[in-house]
Structure 1
Amino acid sequence: MLQPFGPNIWIVDGSDVAVAGFRYPTRAAVIRLSAGGLFIWSPVHLTDKLRTELDALGTVRHIVAPNSLHHLFLHEWKQAFPNARLYAPPRLQKTRPDLAFDAELDDESGTEWSGEIESVVMHGNLITAEVVFFHKASGTALFTDLLQQIPAGHITGWRRLVAKLDLMVEPEPSVPRKFRIAFTNRGAARNSLKRILDWPVEKVLMAHGAPVERDGLAFINRSFKWLKP
């Protein structure tokens, strides 16, 4: 069920996905652009109910995979909305040659949403090149896997210990340890982070974790304090 998150932005929580025995909650965001088209960030499983709600909002024009790990539901969305443009982050097109992407995201992506949504590729990470977005009207930054918080009840036994060591069950969402280690080019990452910190962020959305609804810029600063020189 779509939940309003600010002016012309909604969120919807999808079903859990299992990766190596870990259960991850999923979340998508829907942004209605000024021209009326819908921008879909990090698609979750497309149910009939969700499709009905989307049809009531507008026409799906842009389907965005924000990093190379979030591609599980792209095929069903493209089948449901064949006229929508499908966007890949860096590295994903090689992983999913079965999908006909219309464009690869970069720091200058999206002329059709420029002025409403900005983007920065978080460079320097071996695991994934994540594209971070900023929706101006709502003051919302959208992270995918670089910030996470897994509910404690989702993980038990030895996997809970692994999650704790990976900083995935902290009191507030944080950058998992594996992603911190994977930032082998810290200079490139810092340059990307500097651009993100220039945004007037009020709120932060994540694919896996409770949304931050106030003092978003301070939260991002805390979360990436370890990256700063």
Structure 2
Amino acid sequence: MDWNTLIEWEKDRLWYLDMPYKRYGMCHVHRMIVIRISKDSLIIHNPAELTTRLQTELSALGTIKAVVSPSVSYHQTLSEWWLAYSQAQFYATPSLINLRSDLNFDGALSAQSPDLWKGELLQTAILGSNKPRKFIFCDPQSHTLLLSDNLMAAQPHLPTGQKLLTWMHGIHQDLRYPYSDKRHITQMARIRTSVQEIMTWPFDRLLSSNGLIVPQNGKEAFYQAFWWAF
């Protein structure tokens, strides 16, 4: 994998960077996504470790206007971003805001987009579970669905440790919703409604915070991960 390198996914619009981290003693991917909205404003999705090199690369792309944490799973580097970019707006899931009471957030993520990126990005969460919500975004301009760690797949490019953990869940190369999360579903109808909403969004590609990549037929891959709900 190309660790710690900003990769351009959509010209002048969207980039991603993969960093390794240890989970259960095994190497996994922490993916940060950068979206440039109007007037060279940058949205940081799922912030990773803030290195000097990364700061330099981001400065060349534009001005960081918002830092968005779509899942409670990734928050270990938030403090350094908050200190370095205090002028930016910080948004996180309600569960993460409760967890990180040491930080001041500008708002909790919901189905309504903040004014900063209204009309630029779509957002919602998969409802119907008693687990903390993980927010999903869509960038219509690049036709890309931005997942958090909602789904799993043992894709070839992922680290061996991450693939081993995925196989232990009984999941192979196709995107799947893990059984460990299915056990927490309380309202199947709300799951279906959430998936149906996302299926109306204009995307054909997919990136996720845990390193998944679907360069084409992303809508079909996403639906197949939730076919059991229908």
- Structure 1 residue corresponding to 2:186, chosen from 184, 187, 195: 184
Instruction: Indicate which of 49, 55, 68 corresponds to 1:51.
Output: 55
Are 1:195 and 2:200 matched, yes or no? no
Q: Following TM superposition, by how much is the alpha carbon of 1:88 offset from its aligned partner in structure 2, in angstroms?
A: 1.2
Shift of 1:155: 5.4
Identity %: 29
Give the TM-score, by structure 1 length: 0.90
Amino acid at match of 1:36: D
Tell me if the contact between 1:148 and 1:207 (Cα under 8 Å) persists in the aligned partners.
Answer: no
- Equivalent-residue separation in structure 2 for 1:165 and 1:128 (angstroms): 23
1:140-161 alpha-carbon deviations (Å, 9 max, x no partner): 00011111235362259xxx3x
What aligned pairs does 1:107-126 form with structure 2 within 5 A after superposition? 107-126=111-130
From 197, 204, 211, the counterpart of 2:213: 211
Call closer, same or farther: CA 1:152–1:38 in 2, change over 3 Å: closer
1:163 Cα offset (Å) = 3.6
The code of the aligned residue for 1:138 comes to S
2:67 alignment partner, SS class = strand
The residue aligned with 1:154 is 161
- What's the CA shift string for 1:85-118, capped at 9, x where partnerless? 1101121111111111110010012211111101
Q: Distance in 2 between matches of 1:184 and 1:23?
A: 32
Deviation of 1:59 (Å) = 0.6
Q: Could you list the per-position Cα deviations for residues 47-86 of structure 1 after superposition, in whole angstroms to 9, with x for gaps in the alignment?
A: 1111100000001110000012221111111111110111
Q: 2:28, 2:162 within 8 Å by CA — same for their partners in 1?
A: no
**Partner SS for 2:152:** coil
**Is 2:113–2:121's contact at 8 Å kept on the other side of the alignment?**
no
Q: Distance in 2 between matches of 1:209 and 1:56?
A: 24
Q: Distance in 1 between matches of 2:118 and 2:53?
A: 30
Counterparts of 1:86-97 in structure 2, within 5 Å, are: 86-97=90-101
Partner of 2:227: 225
Q: Do the aligned partners of 1:204 and 1:216 also contact (CA within 8 Å) in 2?
A: yes
- Provide the C-alpha distance between the structure 2 equivalents of 1:189 and 1:135, rounded to a whole number of angstroms: 22
Secondary structure of 1:129's aligned partner: coil
SS of the residue 1:112 aligns to: helix
Q: CA deviation at 1:22?
A: 3.9
Contact 2:175 / 2:224 at 8 angstroms: preserved in 1? no
Shift of 1:227: 1.8
The letter for the 1-side match of 2:58 is L
- Unaligned ranges ≥5, structure 1: none
Q: For 1:210 and 1:85, how far apart are their aligned partners in 2?
A: 27
Paired residue secondary structure (1:18): strand
Match of 1:94, as an amino acid? N
Partner of 1:3: 7
Task: Give the direction of change, closer, same or farther, for the CA distance of 1:22–1:173 in structure 2 (3 Å limit).
Answer: farther
Using the size of structure 2 for normalisation, the TM-score is: 0.90
The question of whether the paired residues in 1 share the 8 Å contact of 2:28 and 2:159 is answered with no
Q: Is the 8 A contact 2:27 2:160 kept in 1?
A: no
Hey, what's the Cα distance between the residues in 2 that align with 1:167 and 1:45? 31
Instruction: Decide whether the 8 Å contact of 2:169 with 2:178 is kept in 1.
Output: yes
Specify the SS of the correspondent of 1:71: coil
Alpha-carbon separation, structure 1, partners of 2:162 and 2:134: 25
Query: What amino acid is aligned across from residue 190 of structure 2 in structure 1?
Result: A
How far apart, in 1, do the equivalents of 2:221 and 2:46 lie? 21
